[in-house]
Structure 1
Amino acid sequence: MTLIPPPFEPGAFVGAAHHYRARIYYEDTDLSGIVYHANYLRYMERARSDMLRLADIDQRAAIESGEGAWAVTDLQIKYRRPAKLDDDILVVSTVEAVRGASVAIAQRILRGDDPLSFETFTEGQVIVAFLAPDGRPRRQPTGWAKRFTAIMNGEMIPC
């Protein structure tokens, strides 16, 4: 009998922060085994998408219904030290501000299991805006803004 592993659940809320775990694979690195700089953005994007999924914010339904979609409108990133092949990383995301059409999210990519001795690879600040199908900013759905505010306050509302 072949056993199928349970669905992979890399992310979870820890207080007001979303934690997302990942591993660095060969495809993520350059020839020296160091993570290619653009891949840090991919880890951050995956963590944000996982955070929204866990908060019951259905991006796909908003896109398919023609309501709109999220887009990164501003990004600041600071590379502190390189992640390497086989590193286990933790992406910590915190919602810093919720506005009518946008959300500011701080993200850090770390290594380590003890919060007192985490090693920081990368830090970023991302602003995502909700856009109508024509590309213009649109107020995000009310329920979504409430969920982001709950996340920011460490009061994640049950889905």
Structure 2
Amino acid sequence: MAVRVYFEDTDLSGIVYHSNYLRFMERARSDLLRLIGIDQRGAFEKGDGVYAVADMTIRWLLPARLDDDLVVETSCTDIGAATISMRQRILRAGELLTDADVRAAFLSPAGRPRRQPADWVARYRALSMAVHPA
């Protein structure tokens, strides 16, 4: 996913404020799900459940700056019964700026872990195989 750094994303020095990287990654994860046909809003509205980030490890290697053109890469690294793990990298002209591992849990409307829909798991597996063929 392409991202341009705007003034609102930066601090006084013109460097992207650390929490804004999380926004960039959240948008990229949401867009990825939409692209592979996962309807999060529909699942929520039907009462099936929603994803919530359970944990995240992030490494900031180099700063992004005002007006930079960035790319957020997202790939599936593990697919569990109730969780999905993804690796996300933010790059500028091929140079790695930020590297993160994210695990999201699928939760029932009551906030309890719940198995992800089987067709969603199949979509993740297909995506994972396209990126990492056996």
- Indicate the residue corresponding to 2:78 in structure 1: 97
Whole-angstrom distance in 1 between the partners of 2:21 and 2:96: 12
Deviation at residue 138 of structure 1 after TM alignment: 0.2
Q: By how many angstroms is 1:73 displaced? A: 0.2
- Match of 1:63, SS state, is helix
Map residues 1-159 of structure 1 onto 2, 5 A cutoff. 20-112=1-93, 118-154=94-130
Q: Secondary structure at 1:139's aligned position in 2?
A: coil
* C-alpha displacement of 1:24: 0.2
Structure 1 residue 142 displacement after superposition: 0.5
Structure 2: stretches of 5+ with no match in the other structure: none
Question: Matched residues, percent identical?
Answer: 53
Give the drift of 1:119: 1.0
How far residue 33 of structure 1 moved from its aligned partner, in angstroms, is 0.5
Aligned counterparts of 1:39 and 1:122: Cα–Cα separation in 2: 12
Q: What do you get for the CA RMSD once the two structures are aligned?
A: 0.8
Task: Give the TM-score, by structure 2 length.
Answer: 0.96
- Number of residue pairs aligned between Structure 1 and Structure 2: 131
Q: TM-score, normalised by structure 1?
A: 0.81
Give 3-state SS (helix, strand or coil) of 2:18's partner: coil
Structure 1 stretches (4+) deviating beyond 4 angstroms? none
Larger Rg belongs to:
1
